[in-house]
Structure 1
Amino acid sequence: MCGGRGTRLGGETEKPLREITGRPMVDRVLDALVESRIETTHTIVSPHATRTRERLAARANDSPSLSIVDAPGNGYVADLQYAMGTVGAGGAPLLTVAADLPLLDGAAVNAVLDAARTADGDSLTVCVPAARKRELGVSADATTEIDGREVVPAGINVVGGSDTSERDDGEDSTADHGGAVHLTDDARLAVNVNYPSDVRTAERLLNSDSTGYHTDQ
C-alpha cells in the first residue's frame, strides 16, 4: 500500500518516496518482499502519489512479478477493497504491507507468513507492544489493548479474502473483532515512519553497528 500523501511527515515528498539513509521507503519494502517467499507483488497507488507511481512503473519494467494497481484514492480501506477485487485474489488470504516500514527485510516477512500459517482463521494482525515502540523511540499511535497489554497494530498483516477491516491509517483492526494476533517485539516490524522523529530513529537503527535491533526479545 503506497498511495499516501504523508502529511504528518511534512514537506512535499510523497510518503513512499521519503528517503531513509538515502533510499526511498517504498524501495526498501519492495526489496524485502523480493527477498521473501512472496512471489507476486501488487503495488497499490493513488492519485495522491503520482511521483510514487512513476517510480514504481520504472521498476515494474524490469520486474515481471511486480504490478501496479491504480486505486481511486478514497482512503486506505476503500483502496484496499478495490485492490483485492482488481487482483482477483479469489478469496485467498493476502499479505498487506504499508510502505512505511524501512527496516523490513525478507526474513521478517517470512516470519509473518509462518505465523499466519499456524494461526486460526485466514487473517492475522501483527501487533507490537506500545512500550517496545516507545523504547525504540518511534511514534505509537492507534493503540489498542489485548489481554491487558497496550499494543499498536503494525503495518504488515495477512488479510482474508472477505476481511478488509483495516484502519484508514494503514494499521489493521482485526484485533478488535476476534482475528488472530501475532505479538512481536521485532524492530523490523515496529518501526513505522509517520513523523520526522520516526525518520531519525529509523536511520539511527539502520546505521547502527548492532545487528540485534531486529530480533524478538
Structure 2
Amino acid sequence: MDALVMCGGRGTRLTADVEKPLYEIAGVPMVDAVITALEESNIERTVAVVSPHTPETARHLDSLPHIETPGEGYVEDLGYALSRVSKPVLTVAADLPLLTGEVLNAILDAYDGDSLTVCVPAALKSRLGVSADLTFDHEGQAVAPTGVNIVAPSDSETMYLAADPRLAVNVNRPTDAQIAEAWR
C-alpha cells in the first residue's frame, strides 16, 4: 500500500516562522518524523502532497514523488490527491511528530478492505492537553480524528479507535508543539 503525506496546509494556527511541516519538534521537522515512521512501516511508497502554500516543504522533500494540489484546504486537497492515486492508500497528516512505524503497522493490520478512519478518544487529547478541533460521538464515546486514514476503493467505512498518545498529538498550535516536545 502507498501513503500520501498531507503537507500543503498554511499552518496558521501554529503561528510559526516556517511552513508547518518543517516546524521542528526536538530538532526534527515534523514531516521528517512522519516520513521516518512510514519508512519503518510496511508502506511501499510515500508520496508528498504539497501546495502553493508549502514551496519550502516541496523542496525539502524533493527526493519523494509529489502531488501538487491547488491549496484550497485540507479536504479539497485530499480529494485532489486521492483522485490521482490508486486505492487503497494510507493518508497521513504531516503534523504527527510522535508517529512510529509500529503504530502505522497496527493500523495497516486492521485494514480489512473498508476505508478506515483512525480516531482517539477525545478524553485522551484532553488528558494530554492537546487541541481537538473536531470531535464526534462513536458508540457513546467522544472521539477525535487523528489525521491518519486508509481510503479504500469501496464506499464502506470502519472506525479504528486507538488510545495511543502517538496518534493523539497533532501539532496545530504552539501549546501542542510544547506537549509534543515533552513526549519526544
| TM-score calculated relative to the size of structure 2 | 0.93
Match among 114, 120, 143 for residue 151 of structure 1: 143
For residue 80 of structure 1, the aligned residue among 38, 55, 78 is 78
Compute the RMSD of aligned alpha carbons: 1.4
Paired letter, 1:145 = D
Counterparts of 1:132 and 1:193, CA distance in 2: 15
Match of 1:108 in 2: 103
Match of 1:132 in 2: 124
User: Aligned partners of 2:82, 2:145: CA distance in 1, in Å?
Assistant: 21
Query: Are 1:201 and 2:171 an aligned pair?
Result: no
Higher relative contact order (Cα pairs below 8 Å, separated by 6+ residues): 2
Which letter does structure 2 place at the counterpart of 1:201?
Answer: I
Whether contact under 8 Å (2:92, 2:149) holds in the other structure is: yes
Q: Deviations over 1:154-174 (max 9, x none)?
A: 1101112366xxxxxxxxxxx
User: C-alpha displacement at 1:141, in angstroms?
Assistant: 1.6
Kept after mapping to 1: 8 A contact 2:38/2:104: yes
After TM superposition, give the deviation of residue 107 of structure 1 in Å. Answer: 0.5
Which secondary structure state, in structure 1, belongs to the residue aligned with residue 57 of structure 2?
A: helix
The count of residues paired between Structure 1 and Structure 2 equals 179
Matches of 1:5 and 1:103, distance apart in 2: 21
| Identity among equivalent pairs (%) | 57
Aligned ranges 1:21-60 → 2 under 5 Å? 21-57=26-62, 60=63
Q: Output the CA distance in 2 between the equivalents of 1:190 and 1:25.
A: 14
Q: Which runs of 5+ in 2 are unaligned?
A: 1-5
Q: Contact 2:114–2:154 (CA<8 Å) still a contact in 1?
A: no
Residue 126 of structure 1 aligns to a residue whose secondary structure is strand
Give the CA deviation at 1:128: 0.5
User: Are 2:90 and 2:150, in contact at CA under 8 Å, matched by a contact in 1?
Assistant: yes
Question: What's the TM-score once normalised by structure 1's chain length?
Answer: 0.79
Superposition deviation, residue 84 in structure 1:
2.1
Distance of aligned partners of 1:6 and 1:162 in 2 relative to their CA distance in 1, 3 Å threshold: farther
Deviation at 1:80, TM superposition (A): 1.7
The SS at the match of 1:152 is strand
Q: Which residue number in structure 2 is paired with residue 3 of structure 1?
A: 8
> Secondary structure in 1 aligned to 2:90?
strand
The CA distance in 1 between the partners of 2:81 and 2:149, in whole Å, is: 15
The offset of 1:5, in angstroms, is 1.1
Select the structure that is richer in strand.
2
Unaligned runs of 5+ in 1: 61-65, 164-177, 207-217
CA displacement at 1:184 relative to structure 2? 0.8
Name the structure 1 match of 2:3.
Answer: none
What is the Cα deviation at residue 179 of structure 1?
A: 2.1
> Could you tell me which residue of structure 2 aligns to residue 68 of structure 1?
66
Q: Larger helix proportion, structure 1 or 2?
A: 1
| Bigger Rg over Cα | 1
**Equivalents in 1 of 2:182, 2:144: separation in Å?**
21
- Give the 4+ runs in structure 1 shifted more than 3 A: none
